[in-house]
Amino acid sequence: MGPGSHRLSLSISVSSLGLLLLLPLLPECFGAEGRLAHKLFRDLFANYTSALRPVADTDQALNVTLEVTLSQIIDMDERNQVLTLYLWIRQEWTDAYLRWDPDAYGGLDAIRIPSSLVWRPDIILYNKADAQAPASASTNVVLRHDGAVRWDAPAITRSSCRVDVSAFPFDAQRCGLTFGSWTHGGHQLDVQTRGAAASLADFVENVEWRVLGMPARRRVLTYGCCSEPYPDVTFTLLLRRRAAAYVCNLLLPCVLISLLAPLAFHLPADSGEKVSLGVTVLLALTVFQLLLAESMPPAESVPLIGKYYMATMTMVTFSTALTILIMNLHYCGPSARPVPAWARTLLLGRLARGLCVRERGEPCGQSRPPESSPSPQPPDREAGPPAGPCHEPRCLCHQEALLRHVATITNTFHRHRAAQRCHEEWKRLARVMDRFFLGIFFSMALVMSLLVLVQAL
What pLDDT, in 10s, does the model give residues 49-104? Answer: 988 999 988 888 999 999 999 999 999 988 889 999 999 999 999 999 999 999 99
In the chain, the domains with their CATH numbers are: 35-241 (2.70.170.10), 247-352+407-456 (1.20.58.390)
Q: What is the percentage of the chain residues whose pLDDT exceeds 90?
A: 32
Distance (Å, whole) CA 188 – CA 97: 17
pLDDT value of position 219: 93
Q: Are the C-beta atoms of 183 and 52 separated by less than 8 Å?
A: no
pLDDT value of position 62: 93
Instruction: Give the C-alpha distances (Å, rounded to integers) separating 257 from 36, 244, 282, 298, 436.
Output: 79, 19, 9, 25, 20
pLDDT value of position 225: 75
pLDDT value of position 195: 87
pLDDT value of position 364: 57
Q: State CA 144 to chain mean position distance.
A: 49
Report, as ranges of residue numbers, the positions in the chain whose pLDDT lies below 50. Answer: 1, 3-30, 372-376, 378-388
Of residues 208, 218, 58, the one with CA closest to residue 123? 218
Of residues 289, 73, 314, 306, the one with CA closest to residue 167? 306
Distance (Å, whole) CA 373 – CA 225: 91
199 DSSP assignment = B
